[in-house]
Structure 1
Amino acid sequence: MLKRGGNMTEATENPFASLHYSNVYLTILALFCFKLFIKISLNCLSYFYIIRGNRKEAARISAEFYDFGQGHRSWADRSPLHDAACQGRLFALRNLLLQGHNVNVVTIDHVSPLHEACFGDHVACARALIAAGANVNITTIDGVTPLFNACSVGSVSCAEVLLENGAKPEALVFQPSPIHEASSKGSSECVETLVRWGADVDFEIPHLGTPLYTACVSQEIECVRRLLREGANVQKGIYMESPLHAAAEKDCTAIVKLLLDFGADINARNMEFQRPVEAAPPSSLTEGFLLVYEATPQPLSQLCRQRIRDCVGRDRFHLINHLPLPNTLKNYLQYR
């Protein structure tokens, strides 16, 4: 009903509008609670049948409610196979596989049981899943692979198993990179394993830079040392900023010294046209060390080592051991 008077117009409001929206919210909440209840009930029921040894019934429940006839997709967040892999329960995992559970079943985020096994450092479960046909290069919706998860927790054993069975040691440019993750987490053994299987030690990601730069930002000196020994370009960081800039900004004198031993340019400039000494915190130990380093001539032995390594080239560093030289000199050339 409208009432008109002069320039004023009044409209009566709908008294059912607020009630309508309240009913929508209540319906959504009810559906969520119902789904959660069903999920918990099915997990408990399936687990009960597994414990009682009724494998056929457990397989039927899993096939009907978890696989849902969609191949590698699952409407549920997790399946019993995910839980067994996550907890490292090898016996339960094998039983589930024997019952016919899909080894490549994924959650809504495309997390597979192999992802869970590697993230938990359960190498025996990872082997069992791979032997049953698990995809070693499967990715989540964020591009995470099982190899990335293994490197994230420093699981060298899982990384080796994955690489032996066809896992790609290197990710795409815009996917999470295993070697960058290992470098940032301080897992130097994972770094060595990845490089041995063909990962590019200078693999650059636009928002992260190189693995060496990532290790310097995270102040992981063992990873820095490992990457440099594997032939990482000491000058290559992110854009114009070198690894030496990153180490100086973090006031990590030990890494700064290591980078300089491998030939880092002390006069390199970043995007702000700063040299590493200018990027270091004022009055810090790193700033003092760099000032002294600039004023001190470098030993001839150090200059010769850098020149020889440049001539040999990164791809042939492993041949230094075969040169007709004394072992002391070979070790010096290899920073041992």
Structure 2
Amino acid sequence: MATTAANTQREMIGCEEYNLYSSLSEDELIKMAIQQSLEEDPAGQSAAQSHQKSVVTGPGEAAAPSRTSSHNPPYQIYPWQRLAAQTRGHAHSSSSGAAWGVRRRYDGSLFSTPQPIELDPVVAAIKDGDEKAVCNMMKSGKDLSEPNKDGWIPLHEAAYYGQVGCLSLLQKAYPGTIDQRTLNEETALYLATSRGNLDCLLTLLQAGAEPDISNKARETPLYKACERKNAEAARLLVQYNADTNHRCNRGWTALHEAVSRNDLEIIDILVKGGAKIESTNSYGITSLFVAAESGQLDALRYLAKCGADINTQASDKASALYEACKNGHVRIVEFLLSQGADANKANKDGLLPLHIAAKKGICEIVSMLIPVTSRTRVKRSGISPLHLAAERNNDDTLEELIDAGYDVNTTLSQERSCLYEDRRTTPLYFAVFNNNIYATELLLEAGANPNVDLINPLLISIRHGCLKTMKLLLDHGANINAYISSHPTTFPATIMFSMKYLSVLKYLLDLGCDAISCFECQYGNGPHPALNYRRDRLSDPQQSKQPTVIQFCDMVSAPEMSRWAGPIIDVLLDYVGNVQLCSRLKEHIDSYEDWAVIKEKAEPPRPLAHLCRIKVRSLVGRNRIKLIDTLPLPDRLIRYLQHDYTQ
């Protein structure tokens, strides 16, 4: 495990996770790379590993970039991606110019070797700014225009280290190399810009360096200046006619980059230098969209003042307002609406900004959107923001939408309902499915109908075993004898769902659930057909052939229910009069010796007192049975009618 962790760390330091080290100096970064080649500490872990662990697991770990994130992370670590990787005056550098094994690949990444390496004397001289040594090398006939194996020539090194004197000497001696590229296709001008070496940048531009040569990612020096937030470098490049509308390999322009960093000075330089504010990247996203999505209010104000389209939409039809709502940028939403942003532009999925705000549960944004969102457009979308608020348990948002008058009985369109296996349609179903008692009560108090969905929410509350939700639903008219039309049974689905919870079954029967239907078998004492019951998932209400109607005796005889059959029948018999057990039920009861008493209990005639209780309960009626304790009857009789056997 320790070896794997060490290998992973080397890969991360050497390649992609450079954004984790943006706060370190060049010397610190080089030290970290050098330490990888040192032996492990007494705990079996190198110092570099220890540092890496603290960085990777810390709270500042970078999130995955969104579709509008910049082409590169904010601070790409070029300073430590060098061949001449030794610290100034560091103990690990020898007097002979050797440095412990830190090498650079052609793509700029570092790797370590166990043996010290000899530094190139040309690079060492340039790094130290020793112009005399450079001149002497040229006079001795040494060709300082030859690239190394990584494609770097001394001119690149001078631009990188900011040694303008050496740079001028090399440029004048080899004028044809001014735009020569490394294997990573980086010019000296690009390297000088990346490092912020303005003197070198100006010298190269004055010498005729082409400002628009890009690297492998099609990033130009101007793009890099924006990424580094270096306004002076951007100004120089624009003055020397750098293309302000050049796109990187993902369509990202310098203006996109500057806006993503909210750098008004650079934005102003670019716009005045000819940058098109409506340029889009590969996702159809403009700079204003970037400002809205990333929450850059100052940049947004500037672009709006310049006439940028406030209703710009990406390729997936998401508007800038939609993205601002999605990311919870309250002030951005407020500004966009004040500038006339259309809250009724839907994305490709038909969702409006109000939908995404309700889904995210951002009440302040929901409040701003409710007055400007068309109820007709919401209805046309096939989904209400109530559905999304209920689905995500955003109770405050749900309450605000209810108070605003959104219909609690609105249903999902068929297309959206089909996305759910259980074919749910109402906000109430979402609340009950999430076992959210507060949201359930909110919706019911606002008039939600508990009997709309294909699968009654009461059945879901039974599956959860939540008596409080059951009571709420039943108090507001939920059908205690609910069936599922796509999976028909001869007895209520409420009984089917509660079979394994005898206390819940008894609770439902006490409130008038239909028990007699469980004993109405079409075969009676005659022979039953062989069991061929396959328990289908509750998934397809549009079945191609007529589904088989399941009888109670078939259900309790199924392997997964057979061991519960006796107790279930015993409870049901308390709520029926004289009934006839069918031959299958008798056969099943006979297979368990302990259940003989149940068979005797079912034999007619039933006790007169019991028959009277059944008669009184039927006369009271299912709608009033839960209020039986308010009837002017003796307490003992009331308890008897309620099947309360405690005396």
TM-score by length of 2: 0.37
Distance 1:263 1:135, change over 3 A: same
Q: Which runs of 5+ in 2 are unaligned?
A: 1-105, 109-149, 152-181, 418-423, 449-647
Q: Which has the higher helix share?
A: 1
Q: Quick check: 98-107 or 260-269, which moved more?
A: 98-107
Q: Assess if the C-alpha contact under 8 Å between 1:147 and 1:178 holds in 2.
A: yes
Indicate the SS of the match to 1:266.
Answer: coil
**Partners of 1:144 and 1:176 within 8 A in 2:** no
Q: Which residue of 1 aligns with 2:184?
A: 37
Amino acid at match of 1:55: L
- 1:111: which partner in 2? 252
1:310-329 alignment, distance < 5 Å: none
Shift of the 189–36 alpha-carbon distance from structure 1 to 2, 3 Å rule, reads: farther
Instruction: Say whether residues 1:290 and 2:437 are aligned partners.
Output: no
| Offset of residue 40 of structure 1 | 6.8
Instruction: List per-residue Cα deviations over 1:120-147 (Å, max 9, x = no partner).
Output: 1222221221122211110011111111
In structure 2, do the counterparts of structure 1 residues 191 and 199 end up closer, same or farther at CA, with 3 Å as the change threshold?
same
Cα distance change of structure 1 residues 86 and 31 upon mapping to structure 2, 3 Å threshold: closer
Task: Kindly indicate whether residue 241 of structure 2 is the aligned counterpart of residue 100 of structure 1.
Answer: yes
Q: 1:56: Cα distance to partner?
A: 5.3
Per the TM alignment, residue 239 of structure 1 is displaced from its structure 2 partner at its CA by 2.8
Query: Equivalent residue for 1:270?
Result: 412
- The residue identity in structure 2 corresponding to 1:275 is T
Report the Cα offset of residue 197 of structure 1.
2.4
- Distance change >3 Å, CA 45–CA 91, structure 1 → 2: closer
Look up the equivalent residue of 2:231 and give its one-letter code. L
Aligned to 2:367: 225
Cα deviation 1:287-332 (Å, max 9, x = unaligned): 232223338xxxxxxxxxxxxxxxxxxxxxxxxxxxxxxxxxxxxx
Partners of 1:181 and 1:142 in 2: how far apart?
13
Distance 1:31 1:286, change over 3 A: closer
Deviation per CA, 1:189-211, whole angstroms, max 9, x where unpaired? 21222223232111112225101
* Alignment partners' CA distance in 1, 2:284 and 2:434: 40
Amino acid of the structure 2 residue aligned with 1:51: L
Distance 1:36 1:286, change over 3 A: farther
Among 145, 164, 167, the alignment partner of 2:305 is 164
Aligned to 2:398: 256
Instruction: Specify whether residues 192 and 257 from structure 1 end up closer, same or farther in structure 2 by C-alpha distance, changes over 3 A only.
Output: same
Report the AA paired with residue 101 of structure 1. Answer: A
For the 8 Å contact 1:240–1:270, the answer to whether it is kept is: yes
CA distance in 1, matches of 2:210, 2:362: 44
Stretch deviating more after TM superposition (33-42 or 74-83): 33-42
Extract unaligned runs of 5+ from structure 1: 1-29, 67-73, 296-336
Identify which of structures 1 and 2 has the higher relative contact order when contacts are C-alpha pairs closer than 8 Å and 6+ apart.
1
- The CA RMSD over aligned residues, in Å, is 2.9
Residue 320 of structure 2 aligns to which amino acid in structure 1? P
Instruction: Tell me how many residue pairs correspond in the alignment.
Output: 259
Residue 82 to residue 287, structure 1, CA distance change in 2 (3 Å) = same
* Structure 1 pair 79–208 and aligned structure 2 pair: CA distance change class (3 A): farther
8 A Cα contact 1:210 1:237, kept in partner: no
Residue 122 of structure 2: aligned partner: none
Query: In the aligned structure 1, how far is the partner of 2:323 from the partner of 2:107?
Result: 39
- In 1, Cα distance between the equivalents of 2:375 and 2:396? 15
Which of the two has higher C-alpha Rg? 2
- TM-superposition CA deviations, 1:7-54 (whole Å, max 9, x none): xxxxxxxxxxxxxxxxxxxxxxx9998664332755224557952255
TM-score normalised by the chain length of structure 1: 0.68
- 2:17 alignment counterpart: none
For the 8 Å contact 2:361–2:396, the answer to whether it is kept is no
**Aligned equivalent of 1:142, options 259, 283, 303:** 283
The answer to whether the 8 A contact 1:49-1:58 is kept is no
> For the structure 1 residues 160 and 31, does the alpha-carbon distance in structure 2 shift closer, same or farther, using more than 3 Å as the test?
closer
Answer whether contact 2:194 2:225 (CA < 8 A) is retained. Answer: no
Alpha-carbon distance between aligned partners in 2 of 1:141 and 1:200, rounded to the nearest angstrom: 24
Q: Identity percentage over the alignment?
A: 23
